[in-house]
Amino acid sequence: MHAMQGKTVVITGASAGIGEALAAVLAGRGANLVLAARNEEALQRVKARCEAAGGRAVAVPTDVGDAEACRLLVERAVEAFGGIDVLVNNAGVTMDARVDEVRDLSLFDRLMRINYLGAVYCTHHALPHLKARRGLVVAVSSLTGKTGVPNRSGYAASKHAMHGFFDSLRIELRGTGVDVTVVCPGFVATHIRDNALGADGQPVRRSKHDESAGNMDVDTCVAITLKAMERREREVVMTTKARIAQFLKLVAPGVVDRIAAKAIQDRQR
């Protein structure tokens, strides 16, 4: 409970969902929060929530797809709290379209820039400060970073890239005292799919599925993530079914393909 007391934690994608919930819990444990997202109004709301929970917080409007904005985010964090102990790369956008339906190919650029390059930019600029405090890098990935998923091709590609980057970085950081934790949630009851990019490259605005039905709740996801952070675990695959699927992928990959296809079909009914 006291592992995060006085620690400075930068969270991207902090204006809603997993990022907001994680920030609020960390604030209650005495952490200093640096909250990053594009929506300044939403960030101010989360900042107030963190302060009400007993933490200190600053809101830094940031588009993680802009490398310079990520540099300024890190600079602001150091100015506010003197350094960085934990960087949580949580910002992300998904998609909901088959490849052969896509009419605006720029959606693939956007997915890669936000989900993958945003994490690269923030991590690169934060590394000197994380090394100084023997800190922790957290990558909020997805089960789609482990296996392909229909209608999510660009999202899966960006999360696969994220995995490759952070697995490589972990090796490079051996001996520095900085650890890398990758967390892989499955379907979580957030509004990320309301803003999924459709075939025209625009947000769909309303998920086709009731996100409260059959999904992991945000609080459970955050609790698992916090435990992984405190233990500085290498990687966490959040559900038993997903862990079994990872084994099946090695011995019967076609079965995993069918499971993934059925999961998406069931969600679109």
Which residues are part of the catalytic machinery?
155
Classify strands 86-89 and 136-140 as parallel, antiparallel or unpaired: parallel
Backbone angles phi, psi at 193, to 5 degrees: -80, -15
Give the count of beta carbons closer than 10 Å to the beta carbon of residue 82: 11
CA gap 63, 70 in Å, rounded: 7
Among residues 251, 257, 220, 217, the alpha carbon closest in space to that of 236 is found at 220
CA gap 174, 113 in Å, rounded: 27
Question: Would you state the structure tokens that stand for residue 75, as one six-digit string?
Answer: 């600079």
Question: Would you state the structure tokens that stand for residue 217, as one six-digit string?
Answer: 């709740």
